[in-house]
Structure 1
Amino acid sequence: MRLAIIPARGGSKRIPRKNIKDFNGKPMIGWSIEAAFLSGVFDEVWVSTDDTEIAAVAQSFGATVPFIRPAELSDDHTGTSAVVRHAISWALQQQLKPELVACIYATAPLLQSQMLNDAMRQLQQDPALDYVFSGCRFSFPIQRALYRTEQGGVQAVDPSSIPKRSQDLPETFHDAGQFYCGRTQSWLDAKPVFSESAYLYELPQHLVQDIDTAEDWRRAELLHQLLLRQP
């Protein structure tokens, strides 16, 4: 069994009700659910939520809401891995046997179904991998990052990298925050996602956008509108 789990709690604070707020004509979570189904690689798509309104919206897009997530797993400090482990444990108690489990964020409207298809295939074909997750290249060498001091001055994070050419510095990447495909036992054992046994599935920069502020939201909508216009 290949299972997709979409965590979606109701207590978003920076953008209230973010998971079901309208995004280019659909509740935000609807785009993630549709991408999961369109990928064609999941036997079931579950939404883990503590919120009955989010549950109803998720079900209207065809997702299964097998339980209401307990309050102790729905606060600001609960990590995604704990939510995934809870859902897997619930599945096992129901005599279900997921082998591969993907965590897909509810706030990933730029996610393309083919990415999920590719990532799950990569995980299935390479038994040495615990996870395949979405990542993106930093657009500027982070070794040349700067601190701003309290007095308004500037300090280099790594002074030795400042005089170096960009092409002489190693490329660096960051978590794109869209999906994490993993083996059931890897999730249950709480193995770290960012490790030698994980594969970074690189996304182009125009398909990556954190959505934490109103400005983020507007930029993501504009990028998404361009995607919708593509043939």
Structure 2
Amino acid sequence: MSKNRLCTICARQGSKGVPNKNIRQFHGKPLIAYVIAAAHESRLFDAIAVSSDGDDILECSRIYGADYQIKRPEAMATDVAAKLPAIQHCASQVESLSGKQFDTFVDISVTSPLLLAQDIQGVVALLEKQLPINVITGTVASNSPYFSLVEQTAEGFVNLAKKPEKPFERRQDCPPCFDMNGAIYAWTAEHFFSLKDVITDRTLIYEMPAERSVDIDTELDFEFAAFLFNKRIHPSR
């Protein structure tokens, strides 16, 4: 049975780390253009919607091919606002405007311009085959909480973040751990609107390579992502 799928892209106007980053020029196009293009290239979605409190961002998303521009309420656009309610609000608005109910909801991060259509396809395939509550994306963690990641106590001392009963002699022997990269989130409709948290007791992870997992939050992230994108276009460099 074919499924109705909605792609949401949340692009808040305020950004202190990289001012105006969601529509900042990145290799000749606004940053948001890349994830809209990846969503189209995946050929999975009945609609692509952008949620933002910024009119300039919404207009930019229209120019680059988003089907719906959803104005985000101010309360969902503050520095401390959680992202999931904004995604749910966007999805609810699109269902109301389109008169269509969706089976699968996928949110793609504007700040992950290195992701590819194949990453989106992989996430959706995992969701619809394994039928968890949701799927998140991540890359293999550079440090293991069982081996080399420490946390500091109130007294200033450090311990392993996750101390095993028996110490591991090699990092390779530790349970697999991942850094969430925030690139893609996907949910089934059965649970989507009632959820309060991104991580549930039935969340699966889709592994993405490190070179596609850069999440732009600082100027250094922006420069590094631009460097990796340039290497993709010109691999000889």
Task: Name the TM-score, length of structure 1 as normaliser.
Answer: 0.89
Q: Distance in 1 between matches of 2:141 and 2:162?
A: 19
> Closer, same or farther in 2 for the Cα pair 1:189/1:222, shift >3 Å?
same
How far off its partner does 1:184 sit? Answer: 2.3
Counterpart pick for 2:129 among 125, 128, 142: 125
Counterpart pick for 1:115 among 112, 119, 142: 119
Is structure 2 residue 45 aligned with structure 1 residue 42?
yes
Q: Distance in 1 between matches of 2:174 and 2:129?
A: 32
Q: CA RMSD in A?
A: 2.4
Equivalence for 2:198: 193
How far off its partner does 1:141 sit? Answer: 2.1
Is structure 2 residue 234 aligned with structure 1 residue 229?
yes
Q: Please state whether the residue corresponding to 2:217 is helix, strand or coil.
A: coil
Q: Percent identity?
A: 28
Counterpart pick for 1:219 among 200, 221, 224: 224
> Closer, same or farther in 2 for the Cα pair 1:103/1:149, shift >3 Å?
same
Q: Distance in 2 between matches of 1:210 and 1:106?
A: 9
Equivalence for 2:207: 202
> Closer, same or farther in 2 for the Cα pair 1:164/1:7, shift >3 Å?
same
Contact 1:146–1:154 (Cα < 8 Å) also in 2: no
15-24 vs 67-76, greater mean Cα deviation: 67-76
- What do residues 55-112 of structure 1 show as CA deviations (whole Å, max 9, x unaligned)? 1111111112343111111111221110111112223333221111101111111111
> Closer, same or farther in 2 for the Cα pair 1:159/1:11, shift >3 Å?
closer
How far off its partner does 1:167 sit? Answer: 2.4
Counterpart pick for 2:67 among 64, 67, 73: 64
**Matched pairs, number:** 229
AA paired with 2:122? D
Q: Distance in 2 between matches of 1:225 and 1:154?
A: 42
Q: Distance in 2 between matches of 1:33 and 1:139?
A: 29
- What do residues 2-34 of structure 1 show as CA deviations (whole Å, max 9, x unaligned)? 110000011111111010011111111111100
Task: Name the TM-score, length of structure 2 as normaliser.
Answer: 0.87
Equivalence for 2:88: 85
How far off its partner does 1:194 sit? Answer: 2.3
Q: Distance in 1 between matches of 2:31 and 2:172?
A: 38
Contact 2:24–2:30 (Cα < 8 Å) also in 1: yes
Q: Please state whether the residue corresponding to 2:70 is helix, strand or coil.
A: coil
Equivalence for 2:174: 169
Contact 2:111–2:217 (Cα < 8 Å) also in 1: no
Q: Please state whether the residue corresponding to 2:137 is helix, strand or coil.
A: strand
Q: Distance in 2 between matches of 1:190 and 1:148?
A: 32
Is structure 2 residue 2 aligned with structure 1 residue 2?
no
> Closer, same or farther in 2 for the Cα pair 1:100/1:147, shift >3 Å?
closer
Contact 1:84–1:187 (Cα < 8 Å) also in 2: no
How far off its partner does 1:189 sit? Answer: 1.0
